[in-house]
Structure 1
Amino acid sequence: MFSHATVAVENFDRAVGFYGKLLPEIGLMRSFYDPENSMASFRKPDQPRPLFFVTLPFEGEALPGNGPMIAFLCDDRPMVDAVHAKALELGGTDEGEPGERPDYHPHFYGCYVRDTEGNKICFVCHDPV
C-alpha cells in the first residue's frame, strides 16, 4: 500500500542512532545512509519497500505534530513489549504502554512512544493471542 513514510528530525545523528538501534528489534535494517544530505532509510532486508525515511526537512524546521503518527507492524505481542522497552532505553518517551486496545478492534495490541525528536510512533500486533 505504501512506498515509503518519512519523519523529519532536527538532530539527524541522534535520530539515526535511535532508529538504527530500535528498528532491528522488529526486523528492519538500515538500507540507505547519506549523512552528507542527512537522509537514511530502513526496510526489511528481503523487501525493497516499504521504506521508512529519517531526514532533516527540506523546508525549514522539523515540527512533530499532534496527530501524525507512523505505526510499525510487529510479529507478536512480545515483540511489541520488547520494542517499547528498547525505545525508552534509547531515549524515547512513553505515550502509551503496551496493551490491548479493544476499542480499536478485539486483537489490537500496541504501544506508543515519541522518538528522540518528538515524532509519535506506534508498534502494533493485530493477531489474537
Structure 2
Amino acid sequence: MSVLDHIGITVSDLGRSIDFYEAAMAPLGVSEQMRVPGELTGYGDVVGYGAEGKPEIWLSGGARTQPHVHIALVAGSRSAVDAFYAAAMGAGGTDNGPPGIREHYHPNYYAAFVLDPDGHNIEAVCHRPE
C-alpha cells in the first residue's frame, strides 16, 4: 500500500519548471498525465505528472516556497538514476549529490539528488542491488 496519493509543489515559473520536470523525470517513465487550466482551479494552471494515467506530482505556478520540499522518485535501475541525473542537469538543475551508493541508508541505496529551478530537492533512488 502506498502512503501518499499525490503531492503538490508551488513553483515560481511554471513554464520553466515544466521543461525541467519533463526532462528530469522522462528516464524514470514519468510524464505529464493531466493539465487543469486556471479557469477551473481559480488560481492558475496546474500540471500533474505520473505514470499510467495517474498524476502524483502536481506543479502549480505562484512563487518560490519556503521551506523547499524533498521528493524521492522510484528508479527501476541504477542506470535510470544515472539518466535522471544527466537529464536533470541538462535541463538546468543544480547538483545536490551525484549518482552513487548512500550506505548510511542501506548497502543498496543508489541515488542522485538535483535541485530544481526553485531549489526543491528532487531525488531518484534505486534500492535494488546491481
| TM-score bin (small chain) | 0.7 to 0.9
CA separation of 1:44 and 1:81: change in aligned 2, threshold 3 A: same
- Tell me what 1:41 maps to: 48
Map 1:5-84; keep pairs closer than 5 Å.
Answer: 5-36=7-38, 37-45=44-52, 48=54, 51-57=56-62, 61-65=63-67, 68-84=69-85
Q: Is the 8 A contact 1:74 1:124 kept in 2?
A: yes
Q: Is the 8 A contact 1:64 1:117 kept in 2?
A: no
**Percent same amino acid among aligned pairs?**
28
Letter in 2 for 1:126: H
Residue 120 (1) aligns with residue 126 (2): no
Q: Is the 8 A contact 1:64 1:118 kept in 2?
A: no
- RMSD (CA atoms): 1.6
Q: CA–CA distance in 1 between the matches of 2:14 and 2:66?
A: 14
Letter in 1 for 2:57: F
SS in 2 for 1:55: strand
Q: Is the 8 A contact 1:110 1:123 kept in 2?
A: yes
Q: CA–CA distance in 2 between the matches of 1:44 and 1:116?
A: 23
Q: Alignment length, in residue pairs? A: 123
- Could you tell me the TM-score, scaled by structure 1's length? 0.87
Structure 2 spans left out of the alignment, 5+ residues: 39-43
Structure 1 spans left out of the alignment, 5+ residues: none
SS in 2 for 1:97: coil
